[in-house]
Amino acid sequence: MFNKENLSDKALEGLAELDEGFMSPKITTLCDWYKLDGDSGIQFVPCFDVIDKRFDMTKPETFSDLYSGLNVYEVTRITGCGCRLSADGYMDKTDWVVFPTAEEAAQYLIETYL
C-alpha cells in the first residue's frame, strides 16, 4: 500500500524485504492526520477515520476514545505520509507514524523493523 513512484530504489528494496515477513509495510499518500499528545506519548490518527462531529480540536478530551492512554493534552492537525506494519487478515499492526514524505516514512520502517 504505497506509491512506488515516490520512492528511491533503496527504499523499494528495503520495503520488499520487509514485505517478506508476517507484517507488511503500509505507507499512505500525503493526507491529513490528527497528532494526539497525552500521557502515553504521541499517537497519530488519520483524519479520514474521524468523521464524527463530536471531536473538537479545541477540546482535546473529546479525542480520548481514539487514544490508548487516559488523557489527551493536545491535538494538532498535520499533513504527511503515515506508515506502519500490518498483517493483512489479522488485527496485528503497529501504530501509525507520520512523516513529511513517503521516502522518510519508508526509511523509518526499514531502519526500525528490518
C-alpha cell, 105: 516514512
pLDDT at 84: 97
pLDDT, average across residues 64-84? 95
H/E element, 78? strand 72-86
H/E element, 33? strand 31-38
How many Å apart are CA 18 and CA 24, to the nearest integer? 7
Task: Tell me the average pLDDT of the chain.
Answer: 93
Which residues does 46 contact at the CB level (< 8 Å), separation at least 6?
A: 28, 31, 32, 33, 34, 82, 96
pLDDT at 92: 94
Per residue in 12-54, pLDDT tens? 999 999 999 999 999 999 999 999 999 999 999 999 888 777 8
